[in-house]
Chain A
Amino acid sequence: DAKTTQPNSMESNEEEPVHLPCNHSTISGTDYIHWYRQLPSQGPEYVIHGLTSNVNNRMASLAIAEDRKSSTLILHRATLRDAAVYYCILRDQGGGSNYKLTFGKGTLLTVNP
């Protein structure tokens, strides 16, 4: 799987928007961009995924650059419960290993009250 680069940590204030960046300059045409998050003492949790177009769901929005070499996870109003490690993951939907997730170190998001 292609590699992703994320900041080690970010800080936000409660009820403010948060933009979590991810660089994936070697992304291939069949790579989907997935985001998971891991709250303290829990297993990872799916957040959102996309291929080319921006995506929205109840948890977050995913903005994908036109050249697909970067993406941004947007939390519209951060809450204390959003404090977690956020992982940006590329999954090749066309390859033979498209079943497993390859995690990096992720971004530790701290939300201040």
Chain B
Amino acid sequence: DTGVSQDPRHKITKRGQNVTFRCDPISEHNRLYWYRQTLGQGPEFLTYFQNEAQLEKSRLLSDRFSAERPKGSFSTLEIQRTEQGDSAMYLCASNSFGYNEQFFGPGTRLTVL
């Protein structure tokens, strides 16, 4: 297993465009997390899935953001009508229920012009 992978690694878009990021967790991990990290700050929790069920969404996740994990495997995070304030690193992590350690992917760096 090669770990958590994220695609793309970098995305540059213009304000108002929609973007979609993909996360492939470690196989058989039933929990998947999305975090956002801005420059100089630690990652902030956005949302969490157990299998295909989205169990919590942070208040940071405005209605322009939507996340899915349709078959309990990979997940997508979509941002509609991007704003400059959405520029950040979007990190995905996974683990299994009852397991302490979260395994993070390399992140997708979004730049909104």
- The judgment on whether A and B are partners is yes
- The residues of A with any CB-CB pair to B shorter than 8 Å are 32, 34, 41-46, 49, 85, 87, 91, 97, 99-106
How many residues on the B side are at the interface (Cβ–Cβ under 8 A)? 22
Shortest distance between the CB of B102 and any CB in chain A (Å): 6
Q: Which residue of A41, A45, A87 is within 8 Å of B42 (Cβ)? A: A87
Shortest distance between the CB of A92 and any CB in chain B (Å): 12
CA distance A51 to B103 in the complex (A): 20
Contact B100 A32, beta carbon cutoff 8 Å: yes
- Identify 18 residue pairs between A and B in the complex whose beta-carbon atoms are under 8 Å apart, listed by A's number: A41-B106, A42-B104, A42-B107, A43-B91, A43-B104, A44-B93, A44-B104, A46-B100, A46-B101, A49-B100, A97-B56, A100-B33, A100-B48, A101-B35, A101-B102, A102-B45, A105-B41, A105-B42
Instruction: Report chain A residues within 8 Å CB of B93.
Output: 43-44
Main secondary structure of the interface of A (DSSP, over half): loop
Smallest Cβ-Cβ distance to A99: which chain B residue: B48
User: Does B69 sit at the interface, judged by CB under 8 A?
Assistant: no
